[in-house]
Structures are given as structure tokens and as C-alpha cells.
Structure 1
């Protein structure tokens, strides 16, 4: 069965993508997987002492994941109220695009929002949406974020 993979970074922009994912899933009769990717290794880069204090590191990871679970539950309550076929996943990877595309099967659809930045801004920030399109083995629906032009 086709799933709609809907990544979120909890930003207002990603909420536009989540709304589109819900709409698309309802139209094709698919379930939705709302996914957030975070990099546990970045904790050790931020505080090298965490590598040597495993118990504190594990406690911090558990605290972060509890917070992420709560944020995902809030999104489900807001965006997917009344939509029964939805699940959440928290993935660990340095590359959100790689994690998202590895999760998706060939018959899934990934729905991702993008600002459509170009030039230096895109070069400095990168584009998860662009990387998802390049790496995906399944269809990708890219949802533009409305600009206040």
C-alpha cells in the first residue's frame, strides 16, 4: 500500500507540506508517515564531554526524543485531526534527505515543502527538498511555500 512520507522540521514552512501530505493521502487513500530527522552526533560536536559521559548523553537523548515525540503529537493533533491512518517516526542521521529517502519505498510518495531559495542563500543553507528529489526512488511532490511578495 502506498504511504505518503511527510517530513517535518517543526517550522511553519514544513506545516504547509504536512497539510499537502494530508490532502494527497486522502485523495489517493494512503496512510501518512510524519517523520522528523535529527543528528545525535551533533550533540557530541556541540559538547565533546558528552562522549565521555555516556549516562548523561543517554539521558539527554531521551529528553530530546521525548520532546520530539510531544511536538509530533501536537502536529498530529493540529494537522491530522480525524485522519486515522497516520504514524510518526523519529530518525537519526546527519543527512535528513538520506534518511527520508531510505524510509520511502518505491510505491510511496514523499511530500516535502520548499522555500524555492536560489543563489547564495541556497548554497549556504542547502535544500533538503532538492536532495530528496535527487535521492528518491519514488515520486516526490514538492510544495512551494507562499512568499509575501
Structure 2
């Protein structure tokens, strides 16, 4: 299992935050981790002020949130969880969330996003996006929607692979999550066509042929054997634009969770999620577990040392 001791669930009382709570509670229960609940008060709208006055959240309120989607696959006693609740005033909720995570040595932030349609669907919410870009620990995003994503019935985990060190680390996290949920892992690589602007005076490069796909499939099979090493894994290779390939696969194959890495590192680069990861987080209809290329790894100590 992943090494998770502290989980942070920031809430602004939105639907996205509510849908994220069962995921935070389930992981806290399975890992015997502290569950930190944080509300950042920004502005004084009548609705937010009324709900903020209900803080800290009662056991009854949390119980209703826990059972708002699919019923838990096993009983979760909220009273037995180690809960810490805090409410702060801050002009920037994202900065307050990241500061809290750093100060309390949080291992995982579980946050809701603002699910919308059309052009607005591209926006996950400025707060969630800034947390994703700047938090030094992994982040699990859960999209708002009419049908909350199940926190218990995760059977198919998709791990996009680009053969970078970052994606290998994400695959290792996916393995541990699969052991937690009892899920299958699909390793997916998109072989992209090479396009040149017409100003280059060059023809479009040849579409990758069967020999390229075959080599990639062998590499994925080797990764599945070396990094996962158990039978519940599938390797898929497809030709196409990576974000589109990943999102199409998610929709067509009943994926329950995507595990993907960022490629930002430090300084200004730390603000970048990476173009593929950013598109997946913004448009995926299922929860996305983002492994950061900087900061914390949640891999068990023995696994981390063996793969160092």
C-alpha cells in the first residue's frame, strides 16, 4: 500500500468538494491516516457565510456526505477516524490550502473540481488548478457531476505511459493503488504522428508503422512485468494525439481512476503540469490521481529504495 499518514480534504461546500469527501474518507480509513478538513473563508457571500457557520462539520453532516454516492463496500466509522478540522480566513484559498499541506506534512490532497459542459468544461476551477500546480504532494481530483464517481468500486485504473522517469513513478503508484482497491491496471501509450508546419517545406512524416507499435508493445509488456509483476495488468498501444487517446480510452473502457504524472520541477517550471496532464485533469470525467515530479513520493520505503 501507499505510505499515507495525512490526507487533506479542502472544502468550499461546493458539489465538487462534497463528491471528493468519500474518496478522502475511504483512503484515510484504508491507510489508517489522519483526515484533515480545511475550509478557507474568502469573501462574505450569504450562502458561504451561512454554511461556514456550520463549521466544524458534524458527524451527521460527514455521514451524509459519505453516503451521498455508492454505499461503502465496508463499514466506515467516522468516529474512529482521526479527524482534524480547521477554518481560516485568507485572500487566496489555493495558497492557504498549499500552506496548510506544507505545514502539516500532508501526504495527499483530495480536492473537488468544477465539472461543467461546453467551453466551461475546460475549467477545473482556479483554486483546484493552482493547488495542482504548486502542492508538493500528490493530488487526487474528483469532478462534480450528477453521478458521483464511486470511492469504493474502483476496478479499472488507467496509467498513461510516456516512458519518462515521471511516468514510471506514476505506474508504481498505480500498482499500490490497484492493490488497495483490488483493481486491474491498464498501461496505455500513444504513438503520436509527427507533423511539420507547411512553412518548413517538408512533407508530413510517415505514420508510425506496425514495427514501431510492436516495439512499444514489447516495452510496455516489459514495464508491466518489471514494475507491476502480477496478472491483473493490460498493456495497450494506440496511434494518435496523447490527450485524445487517453480520454477516448477512459470513456470507452469503463475506467474508474487515472493515475498520471506531472513534468514540472522547480521555480517557474513548477507551475507547469505538463500539457498532457493538464488536459487530462481538465477534461476527465473520472477521478485523476496526479503524481508530482517534485516533492513527495507515497511509495513504500522498501519499494522506493529498490527503485532508486
TM-score normalized by the length of structure 2:
0.39
- Structure 1 runs (4+) deviating above 2 angstroms are 44-51, 115-127
Cα deviations by residue, 1:17-53 (Å, 9 ceiling, x for unpaired): 000011111100110000001223x2x65973866xx
Among candidates 90, 113, 117, match of residue 237 of structure 2: 90
**CA RMSD, 1 decimal:** 2.8
**Greater gyration radius:** 2
> 5+ residue gaps in structure 2?
1-153, 296-308
How many residues are matched? 136
Among candidates 80, 102, 112, match of residue 260 of structure 2: 112
* TM-aligned CA deviation for residue 124 of structure 1: 9.3
Task: Return the alpha-carbon distance in structure 2 between the equivalents of residues 61 and 115 of structure 1.
Answer: 28
1:67 aligns with 2:220: no
Aligned to 1:23: 176
Q: Is the 8 A contact 2:259 2:288 kept in 1?
A: yes
Task: Answer 1 or 2: which has greater helix percent.
Answer: 1
Among candidates 186, 189, 203, match of residue 48 of structure 1: 203
1:102 aligns with 2:248: yes
If asked which structure has higher relative contact order (CA below 8 Å, sep 6+), I would say 1
> 5+ residue gaps in structure 1?
52-56
Give the direction of change, closer, same or farther, for the CA distance of 1:15–1:49 in structure 2 (3 Å limit). closer
TM-score normalized by the length of structure 1:
0.77
